Chain A
């Protein structure tokens, strides 16, 4: 009876498993923002002279096309300093022309731990696309890790199936301006909400570990003769007015300290008056106009350094 049951059960669930695996396989072929970026990176590796690392503030706020040198923006949404370091370590050997490294560090970067946030699932994408090991062993217990359906989630998977597995994605350059972007949709209320959402992903205990990642990146870059620039991208006043000043100053002093010790340049545009409302797409992200402005400023700093 047991054997009969097991046999029938296997026959019953086989089509379900087959269907599941078929969908999973099709999902694995879908381009993601990371896989598109990896493809572009691999294509441009031999030519890259300037590499940008960081999170969405750098991804949107620094436009590689405006640098004097051939630049590549390897920043990504919610990318933590752990992944910045791992990506640098993985590809630095394959960038023979690399001369400059721009590390973007936001207000929350030094206290940010991707594992502790609702976006922990991004770790699995880094693992699958870039083969970067997980930052936290507890992620091994998450079922999302083991299938693309889990990674995309049920609702997203259904939508993809209904769209016949077609997916549109933006690439390494900042998102294009919206046609009627005259009046930015942000305010004190949205800024306060944004800061609160960042507080939820900031963990003071993570500070030293993240600082170590920064130090490691600087050491690695210097070992390859690469000049490092640490940048804090600008935010709008609706965001900056609600920050915790103590935490902000702790971040700034730590970066100033490290830049002095390691002889690297730290440029802080956080409250820079050059950036006004038309430069922002929301409370803490630049739009294309702002990205062009910031990129020119960073480029000027880079070019001003004697070769």
Chain B
């Protein structure tokens, strides 16, 4: 069941109402049943796959805790292998089969299994549980239903945030009383998330889909704008989902981890990865990067660790070379940024940029955003050929533009006719300007919201204004949203 669907509009109030109606002892049971229903709205039979994972990791957790010596590690390895095997079969089998087939000139073995929704998310959540139990940082959960709920918990079941057992499991034992402010805050967050997804992300998708449909026929301007719009589309789509998930959990009294922290305000790639998909990046940091040595190893080993971490992160997103390259490129950015830190500091001081910290900060943001957007080309492209074609066209367009500027003439892609055929005017100039305005509004609002913990609009005597804003958001969601062909969240495919 999608968050932006009529079914969820019915499901959520009923489950929440029953949650607060029932005594505490029954609440986790209700949530477990509700989460199963939520998941079965996709492909019902696939719930058996998650239950398999739940049984394996629940048993492994107890065995790991009770075991001593090498058996402890053995149970951990068994659990990791079975979990990863399920992920491999459903997600990576065809990819590796095709690549091996091409390498050895063999016909590939094709599997027709459909990837269960959210498999990548709950396998990682399960893995973090067994690893934490192994290291003694989490007690093995003895109540099967509670552990099942840890994996199944519907707000974060299909696209995260990827929770840690220390953060989530104990919350199922706590009594959550109805709290007016918390409930309203949760609903407000859900509304905001829905607005970002339905009103902004889905409309940006119109431009992005057009630019990436037949990129060979698009101008470099269209491709650049399409890519920049994709940067915001994927951010609003995913952060919107996270807002809804966190908001829905908050209504019932659960605190899920923050997943995004205004990533495009980052002044470096390193900072970006502290702000983007935080639950996944911290997962890779804690379970891949640090165990491989982290920053305690020598320079070459550190480079290898970074690249392995980011390549795996890319692969996690999808079974395609484009995701691998996307991950590797981000790893490369980090390595280069690390080793050019001092020379860059010297240069910026010499040219006097440090005397203008705000301008310097904005420039760093712009550079970081540009680098990230370049990597998004790989993320969005269906294959490497398309990605390279896009770069080729962009490069060609920029070269043509420079050539024209040097001759004091209008670059060919900035002529009236060229602009009319570009994605700028695909849905009309006004709509394009409206989308830019929306992006500025959303970014501005989130910046303002972060800086002031309780904004002036939350004052009790401004209830009418607040409600007017809520109605405006709801109306825009209903009117602008396409409820017939409900657009799936981008990260559902992972």
Look across to chain A and name the residue whose beta carbon is closest to the beta carbon of B184.
A5
A153 within 8 A of B: yes
Give the residues in chain B near A1, CB-CB below 8 Å.
Answer: 178-180
Within 122-155 of A, Cβ neighbours of B (below 8 Å) are at 143, 150, 153-155
A205 within 8 A of B: no
Q: List 15 A-B contacts (CB under 8 A).
A: A1-B178, A1-B179, A1-B180, A5-B178, A5-B184, A12-B470, A15-B471, A143-B6, A143-B7, A153-B483, A154-B481, A154-B482, A155-B482, A155-B483, A155-B484
CA distance A225 to B81 in the complex (A): 73
Question: Judging by beta carbons under 8 Å apart, are A2 and B482 in contact?
Answer: no
Question: Judging by beta carbons under 8 Å apart, are A153 and B184 in contact?
Answer: no
Give the residues in chain B near A12, CB-CB below 8 Å.
Answer: 467, 470
B474 within 8 A of A: yes
- Per-position binary interface string of chain B over residues 1-25, scored 1 when its CB falls under 8 Å from any chain A CB and 0 otherwise: 0000011001000000000100000
A4 within 8 A of B: yes
Give the residues in chain A near B183, CB-CB below 8 Å.
Answer: 5
CA distance A1 to B471 in the complex (A): 23
CA distance A12 to B183 in the complex (A): 15
A158 within 8 A of B: yes
Look across to chain B and name the residue whose beta carbon is closest to the beta carbon of A141.
B7
Give the residues in chain B near A223, CB-CB below 8 Å.
Answer: none
A273 within 8 A of B: no
Give the residues in chain A near B483, CB-CB below 8 Å.
Answer: 153-155
Within 147-202 of A, Cβ neighbours of B (below 8 Å) are at 150, 153-156, 158
Main SS of chain A's interface residues? Answer: helix
CA distance A4 to B179 in the complex (A): 11
Question: Judging by beta carbons under 8 Å apart, are B20 and A2 in contact?
Answer: yes
A305 within 8 A of B: no
Question: Judging by beta carbons under 8 Å apart, are B484 and A153 in contact?
Answer: yes
Question: Judging by beta carbons under 8 Å apart, are B484 and A154 in contact?
Answer: yes
Give the residues in chain A near B20, CB-CB below 8 Å.
Answer: 2
Chain A min CB distance to B3 (Å): 16
Number of interface residues of B (CB under 8 A): 19
Look across to chain B and name the residue whose beta carbon is closest to the beta carbon of A16.
B474
Look across to chain B and name the residue whose beta carbon is closest to the beta carbon of A143.
B6
Instruction: Determine which of B6, B180, B467, B479 lies in contact with A158 in the assembled complex, contact meaning CB atoms within 8 Å.
Output: B479
CA distance A5 to B20 in the complex (A): 13
Look across to chain A and name the residue whose beta carbon is closest to the beta carbon of B479.
A158
Look across to chain B and name the residue whose beta carbon is closest to the beta carbon of A2.
B178
CA distance A143 to B479 in the complex (A): 19
Look across to chain A and name the residue whose beta carbon is closest to the beta carbon of B10.
A143
Question: Judging by beta carbons under 8 Å apart, are B180 and A4 in contact?
Answer: yes
Known: A153-B484, A154-B481, A154-B484. 20 other contacts (CB 8 A): A2-B20, A2-B178, A2-B180, A4-B180, A5-B178, A5-B183, A5-B184, A12-B470, A15-B471, A16-B471, A16-B474, A143-B7, A143-B10, A150-B6, A153-B483, A154-B478, A154-B482, A154-B483, A155-B483, A156-B484
Chain A min CB distance to B6 (Å): 5
Look across to chain B and name the residue whose beta carbon is closest to the beta carbon of A155.
B484
Within 1-52 of B, Cβ neighbours of A (below 8 Å) are at 6-7, 10, 20
Chain B min CB distance to A128 (Å): 18
Give the residues in chain A near B474, CB-CB below 8 Å.
Answer: 16
Within 418-432 of B, Cβ neighbours of A (below 8 Å) are at none
Give the residues in chain B near A155, CB-CB below 8 Å.
Answer: 482-484
Within 436-472 of B, Cβ neighbours of A (below 8 Å) are at 467, 470-471
Question: Judging by beta carbons under 8 Å apart, are A5 and B180 in contact?
Answer: yes
Chain A min CB distance to B170 (Å): 25
Look across to chain A and name the residue whose beta carbon is closest to the beta carbon of B481.
A154
Give the residues in chain B near A153, CB-CB below 8 Å.
Answer: 483-484
